[in-house]
Amino acid sequence: MLPTRSLGPFQVSAIGLGCMNLSHAYGQPPALAQAEQLLLHALDRGVTLFDTAALYGFGANEELVGKVLSPHRSRFTLASKCGLHGVPGEDGKLKRVLDGRPATIKASCEASLRRLRTDVIDLFYLHRWDKKVPIEDSVGAMAELVKEGKVRCLGLSEVSAGTLRRAHAVHPITAVQTEYSLWTRNPEIAVLDACRELGTAFVAFSPLARGFLPGTLKDVSALVPTDLRRSMPRFAPEAYAANLTLLPALQAIADEADCSLAQLSLAWLLQRGEHVIPIPGTTQIAHLDEDLGATSVQLSEQQMARLDEIVNVASVQGGRYNAGSQAEVDTETFGEAG
């Protein structure tokens, strides 16, 4: 079985599963049968943290997780998110909306419970802080869901240390979820330490840098037009070509450690702190098995230091989000007060 880490009152596998790309973001999702097989394989391998959201596939991902995993509900910790979801536009098509008002949060929770086929969500995140609504109001509504027994614990995604502290004063925050990997180091500015201080778990999404760190994505021009990465500056052709030059030095360390690039990257994260829980996502069982193998990789202090020297804020080219997406997040940014 996999080693475990603490997530509030839960003991979960040290590596969880991000379910997003089974329905959303990276081009054409896999066939339903393939997605179902992957979820069940993860469960059989000992993964006990499954992460979804109302936004992913505009509810389709929660429906998938509910259909496949609800018969096994007692075997895992279920996380979902509110605050970002789809609403019909003038053309009748669903569009992405950020809305952290208390009434919207409560309605979103009810819809998620139905799609997930469960009576309670173990960990309910605010997917993004809607800055038009005080964080205290959004978290206050979420706290009422805890009192009603519909949610067990609360989380926040993409927030700063200051916002975490404000929210934590209203209701204990069990987890903060933010992008964190060798090439995204923003959490190291403040929120990673704030989580450690408050006893809050840090859940690292995109721990493999959206396909960059495993070294398998060589040609970004081959990404389909709907792929989320096409809007990200780091994946622009010139920046990405520069970033690819970092991989040979990483591969040398992976060879020393007798592991793959993906395992090296996840092992680095696991050694950043006992409160760090990566949630890589994949559509391939072979990739899932490879990722879980990172729990057996132990890196030396020298190897950890060399990794920091190779991939860091100065060496990575391009921002992680475009201007529109960056405006929606509350995480600290290098070069700014936070």
Q: Residue 52 — pLDDT band, cuts 50, 70, 90?
A: very high
Spell out the domain ranges in the chain. Answer: 4-210+273-297
Catalytic residue from among 26, 56, 180, 321: 56
Q: Residue 335 — pLDDT band, cuts 50, 70, 90?
A: low
Per-residue pLDDT of 113-127, as tens digits, reads 999 999 999 999 999
Q: What is the pTM of this model?
A: 0.96
Q: Which CATH class is domain 4-210+273-297?
A: alpha beta
Q: How far is CA 119 from CA 2, 78, 180, 285, 306, in A?
A: 27, 11, 31, 29, 47
What integer is the mean pLDDT of 315-335? 92
- Residues 6 or more apart from 198 whose CB is under 8 A from it? 164, 165, 168, 173
Per-residue pLDDT of 90-108, as tens digits, reads 888 889 999 999 999 999 9
Active site annotation includes 125: no
Q: Minimal CA–CA distance to 178: which of 332, 24, 334, 3?
A: 332
Helix (H, G, I), strand (E, B) or coil at 154: strand
Contact 177/205 with Cβ under 8 angstroms?
Answer: yes
Query: How far is the C-alpha of 280 from the C-alpha of 288, rounded, in Å?
Result: 8
Helices (H), the chain: 32-44, 60-69, 102-116, 135-147, 161-170, 191-198, 237-244, 247-257, 261-270, 285-292, 301-310, 323-328
Query: Is pLDDT at 207 greater than 90 in this prediction?
Result: yes
